[in-house]
Amino acid sequence: MDKQVLLDNLRTNIPNNSLFNSGQEVVYFLITARKIIDNENLTSKYETLYVYCNWIVHPKLDRKSSLEFLSSL
């Protein structure tokens, strides 16, 4: 999906006051952020956010990249 379409969807579905009103908004934000990070090859730039994006949809993080990041903490 095109980055601009994803950003437009975020603007439409997330309130302007920068506060999330529900857990659904948080999940939607993280899933959309992950799509943008993947599409733009920004994983190394947003490594921490990317782990949270993965964690929201995969409660068990068992991929090497996630395990290495968590171990570094």
Give phi and psi for 11, each to the nearest 5. Answer: -60, -35
**Burial class of 50 by CB neighbour count within 10 A (0 to 12, 13 to 18, 19+):** buried
What is d(CA 10, CA 5) in angstroms, rounded to the nearest whole number?
A: 9
Q: How far is CA 63 from the centre of its chain?
A: 16
The pTM is what?
0.76
Cβ atoms of 61 and 54 within 8 Å: the answer is yes
Q: What is the residue-level pLDDT of the chain in tens, covering all 73 positions?
A: 688 888 888 787 776 766 788 888 889 899 999 999 999 999 889 988 998 898 888 877 777 777 777 777 7
